[in-house]
């Protein structure tokens, strides 16, 4: 790796990235990406960024994570419209669409290229808002995800020489696919902060899920009570994420920034604001600099409040990665709001903030046994910390 990376952020983007789209009425619309890039451009966030498209990943690359039979089934679904419900293809969550294989493989390739650009020292940070498809399993599509670009990118980093890769997932849904791929691999730490699986898909991600027999402590899960808002959400991050990352000492930090924890999201029951999500991205950015020499790969993920939430949250993410942070009080450019009015018949948000200033109540301030959030956090610390050499009561 070179000692002096190009300061520009690597942003995976080309119009072809919009082809990953399950069709009209499906929550995983590519309009989320289009609106994000338009907003980032209108705010000047992409000025000086290195915008890089992607070609579909080769089968060789996909097979580092996915089963050969599954890749063949995706190709059949893509080319002939052949459903395979046993492999999650042709379901309500993952309906078959033309060129599905190429679209999903392009997302995977984009995340791999981003990760390797960071690892080679070409840039400090890289972002693929089309990525973060964290539910895809080695042998099945799941939860709007066909190929698991995050897991493929992490595998590529390991193949390139990274000794330890940390993955932090703040999507409202458990990052089950990435956890499954690296369940028994001590080189990868997976950390997922999500709404409890008792009430939300995929029904996993409990505190006692801590890794396989050869990698105990390599999976860390914070299952949040439904209804958790900014204060509890940020408190949970503070109580777990910095400590486990510092104990693990990663060479690279890969993060997934699904923004469906927002209060307006139609599929979840968390109550986080744009401002809280922005603060989490800032915190993870800081930890990448503190612990991984600045090597940070940030991915998108879920988020289904298409107009009001996703473009602002991911524009903040790209801006933070570009070292061009946007003041939350910044007005949303009128050109973008006009585009939204013309296309969707209503105005988008007026500023880059929800008008809140999230309070951060540090874990060190004390544990409340009567609080559901505190009990969930304590369960995670008790389950995961000892295997990482941490004291659940003190660290």
Kindly list the catalytic residues: 135
For 303: left if phi > 0, alpha if psi spans -120 to 50, otherwise beta; the answer is: left
CB 392 within 8 A of CB 244: no
Are the CB atoms for 195 and 270 separated by under 8 Å? yes
Cβ atoms 262, 313 nearer than 8 A: yes
Pick the closest to residue 49 from 124, 132, 121, 110 (CA basis): 124
d(CA 167, CA 278): 18
C-alpha gyration radius of the chain = 19
Q: What are phi and psi of 218, to 5 degrees?
A: -85, -10
Contact (Cβ atoms closer than 8 angstroms) between residue 244 and residue 387: no
CA distance 167 to 26: 28
The answer to whether the beta carbons of residues 196 and 269 sit under 8 Å apart is: no
Alpha-carbon span 277 to 261, nearest angstrom: 8
Q: 């690279």: which residue's tokens?
A: 252
Dist CA 115 CA 252 (whole Å): 9
> Which alpha helices (DSSP H) does the chain contain, by range?
31-42, 59-62, 68-80, 100-119, 149-160, 176-181, 230-248, 274-291, 310-321, 334-344, 372-384
Angle at 298 (CA atoms; ends 56, 8), nearest 5 degrees: 90
Residues in the chain: 395
DSSP classification of residue 89: B
């Amino acid at each position: 790796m070179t000692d002096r990376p190009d300061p520009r952020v690597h942003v995976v983007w080309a119009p072809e990235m919009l082809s990953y789209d399950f069709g009209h009425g499906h929550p995983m619309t590519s309009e989320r990406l289009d609106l994000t890039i338009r907003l980032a451009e209108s705010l000047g966030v992409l000025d000086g960024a290195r915008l890089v498209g992607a070609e579909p990943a080769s089968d060789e690359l996909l097979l580092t994570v996915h089963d050969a039979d599954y890749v063949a089934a995706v190709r059949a679904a893509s080319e002939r419209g052949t459903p395979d419900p046993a492999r999650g293809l042709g379901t309500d969550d993952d309906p078959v669409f033309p060129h599905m294989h190429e679209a999903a493989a392009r997302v995977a390739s984009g995340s791999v290229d981003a990760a390797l650009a960071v690892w080679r020292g070409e840039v400090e940070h890289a972002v693929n808002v089309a990525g973060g498809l964290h539910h895809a399993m080695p042998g099945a599509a799941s939860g709007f995800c066909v190929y698991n670009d995050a897991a493929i990118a992490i595998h590529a980093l390991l193949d390139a020489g990274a000794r330890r890769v940390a993955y932090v997932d703040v999507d409202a849904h458990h990052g089950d696919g990435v956890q499954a791929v690296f369940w028994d691999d001590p080189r990868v730490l997976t950390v997922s902060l999500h709404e409890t699986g008792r009430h939300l898909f995929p029904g996993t991600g409990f505190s006692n899920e801590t890794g396989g027999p050869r990698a105990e402590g390599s999976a860390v899960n914070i299952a949040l009570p439904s209804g958790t808002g900014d204060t509890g959400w940020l408190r949970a991050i503070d109580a777990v994420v910095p400590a486990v990352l510092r104990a693990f000492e990663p060479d690279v930090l890969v993060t997934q920034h699904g923004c469906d924890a927002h209060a307006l999201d139609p599929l979840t029951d968390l109550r986080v604001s744009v401002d809280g999500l922005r603060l989490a991205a800032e915190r993870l950015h800081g930890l990448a600099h503190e612990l991984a020499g600045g090597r940070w790969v940030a991915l998108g993920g879920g988020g289904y409040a298409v107009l009001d939430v996703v473009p602002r949250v991911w524009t903040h993410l790209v801006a933070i990665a570009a070292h061009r942070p946007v003041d939350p009080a910044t007005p949303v450019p009128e050109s973008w709001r006009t585009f939204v009015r013309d296309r969707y018949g209503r105005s988008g948000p007026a500023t880059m903030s929800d008008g809140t200033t999230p309070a951060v109540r540090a874990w060190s301030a004390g544990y409340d046994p009567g609080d559901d959030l505190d009990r969930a956090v304590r369960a995670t610390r008790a389950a995961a910390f000892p295997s990482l050499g941490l004291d659940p009561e003190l660290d």
